[in-house]
Structure 1
Amino acid sequence: MDILTEILEQEDVLVLEDTTDMRELVVYNDDVNTFEHVINTLVQVCRHTQEQAEQCTMLIHYKGKCTVKLGTFTELETMCTAIHDRGISADIL
């Protein structure tokens, strides 16, 4: 095995390790929270634009859930807690 092949294989492994740790922050629909509350939460907690938050909120309402953010567990944990603190159901998958 030449050095170039070895380097490329190592890079493939590093890329695979980086991408396999990605998780989804999923928000679920309920009959309690208003559209406005969910939109404001997504803007404040997930740093969505107003348009992104509105689109996610519509998906949450009509599909029952929506992935609102991708990241590592560590990155999403604080956001998930903040969403829970606002009375909205969410999980990291």
Structure 2
Amino acid sequence: MPTEVQEETLTLEEILAGLKEMHRLILWNDDHNTFEHVIHCMMKYLDYTEAQGEKIAWKVHNEGKCAVLE
């Protein structure tokens, strides 16, 4: 008997809303990614402003990690 599969398509907003309720996304410090790259990714993928991305980059640099989504 064949197995029936259902596909569900979600928007980025729906996915992020689910993450905010159930999980934390933690950004860890490393020696490979530059401040500019981290800020760029925060802006491109999470719709943060440049100032927010810079604040996160400094927090990660000084504290070793930062929750970027909760």
TM-score by length of 1: 0.51
> Which structure's CA Rg is the greater one?
1
Q: Which residue type is aligned with residue 67 of structure 1? A: A
For residue 6 of structure 1, what is the aligned residue in structure 2? none
Instruction: Give structure 1 regions of 4+ aligned residues with deviation exceeding 3 angstroms.
Output: none
CA-based RMSD: 1.0
Cα deviation per residue 1:23-50 (whole Å; 9 max; x = unaligned)? 2110000011110000000111111111
The answer for unaligned runs of 5 or more in structure 2 is 1-20
| Map of 1:39 onto structure 2 | 39
Gaps of 5+ in 1: 1-20, 71-93
Identity across aligned pairs (percent)? Answer: 40
Written as runs of structure 1 = structure 2, the 5 A alignment for 1:10-89 is: 21-70=21-70
Amino acid at match of 2:22: M
Identify the structure with the greater helix proportion.
1
Size of the aligned set, in residue pairs, is 50
Normalised by the size of structure 2, how large is the TM-score? 0.66
